[in-house]
Structure 1
């Protein structure tokens, strides 16, 4: 299966200016994701999608392929990731280059354990899923079966059940996306306009060092993980 590894990195970040190329212990942020992608034996090609000349220049310096400049219409604050993916797939389609699936690797989730991308890809292929996500387990207190929604000044169980599950041990496992890996079949993206489809696999990263960088506080957390030794920059672990 031909799988495109796609690293999206637009300019214009407001929370942390220049976030995608801001140095984190001597490396521009997007380099962490590129290094993880380079280790993969199952990604057929790894590219950058960016609208920003400085980001494109950094990509060239670190050896990350950037075959196009992403148009402004796909680089706005509210542009969904799927539009970025569709643009890349259609760019290659116009050049008669096809991919069976795409692996979206967001640079704002920089810490991926060695072999994670290929482990996720193996599971994606073996399960013949429409998509596969990297996820982390939701703590019990935030499990949807214990969450209430407000309706007409009253609370109701978010799952719609009449009775709450009384014991933590009886709660089904629940997960949230961690942003590190989105694997989706090309036909699901282009024909269903979806990142997910109907059959969604997952790989659990609950025990891994984790940060999803959106704010200055998130950046400080990334620095803390490195300083504490939970992530070693030199070895990529």
Structure 2
């Protein structure tokens, strides 16, 4: 059978590359990716979640930082390259990091159907959550899938106002009339940063989401996105309850 890279559903088990991005620099929490949370480096939580997935083909760490490379190796992660410094600046987006990894493997003749990006800043993924997300992504035939959490109704875009050029308020959705009843609001979600899955061909086209974007809801009880020292304290509190 001819292996067609463009269609993920052609064959039973698509090849999935998991990329764990971990820069050395960090403003909110210094050296946070390898700072110890509950007795192990923050990176360990995401490494373990990725390595226990049954649907991921290969798990790699992408970093420019030599110390993080070493920590990653001790956690069992493959570290095939040292990420170029120009992809490790504060303003460097994840898309460039993922495109770099895909290009690296394709130059070596290794092709993946999709990429799953697992951010170190979301340490508490439920067991099996990554495989649930990958299964939904594969069966939905979507271009991409992201993990989300529901937006509290008071922040629903239909109830949010923006200022216009005259500094008056207008409904963010552009509607003239506000939806009065909470029950009539459409469900709204925000990206929680825990899981991004995208077809490789869509990544190459310069997009994380493509045309058809699917989603999976995270468990809000397990949710923390570590950006600040306050978030770090929250994560330490959550560990006591897990």
TM-score, scaled relative to structure 2 = 0.93
2: distance between equivalents of 1:153 and 1:19? 40
Q: Secondary structure at the match of 2:236?
A: helix
Matched, 1:173 2:179: no
1:235 corresponds in structure 2 to none
Matches within 5 A, 1:49-198: 49-151=62-164, 152-190=166-204, 192-198=205-211
Give ranges in structure 2 of 5+ residues lacking alignment. Answer: 1-13
Q: Residue 208 of structure 1: CA displacement?
A: 3.8
Give ranges in structure 1 of 5+ residues lacking alignment. Answer: 232-237
2:46 corresponds in structure 1 to 33
Q: Residue 206 of structure 1: CA displacement?
A: 4.3
Q: Residue 157 of structure 1: CA displacement?
A: 0.2
1: distance between equivalents of 2:221 and 2:113? 29
Checking the alignment, whether the CA contact within 8 Å between 1:137 and 1:206 is kept in structure 2 is no
Alpha-carbon deviations, 1:133-178, whole Å to 9, x = none?
A: 0000000000000000001110000000010000111111000000
Alpha-carbon deviations, 1:110-132, whole Å to 9, x = none?
A: 11001100000000000100000
Q: Residue 207 of structure 1: CA displacement?
A: 3.7
Q: Residue 217 of structure 1: CA displacement?
A: 0.5
2: distance between equivalents of 1:4 and 1:206? 24
1:216 corresponds in structure 2 to 229
2:36 corresponds in structure 1 to 23
Structure 1 residues 206 and 147, CA gap change in structure 2 (3 angstroms): farther
TM-score, scaled relative to structure 1 = 0.95
Q: Secondary structure at the match of 2:222?
A: coil
The alignment of Structure 1 onto Structure 2 pairs a total of residues equal to 228
Structure 1 residues 119 and 208, CA gap change in structure 2 (3 angstroms): farther
Q: RMSD of the alignment, in Å? A: 0.8
Q: Residue 38 of structure 1: CA displacement?
A: 1.2
Q: Secondary structure at the match of 2:195?
A: strand
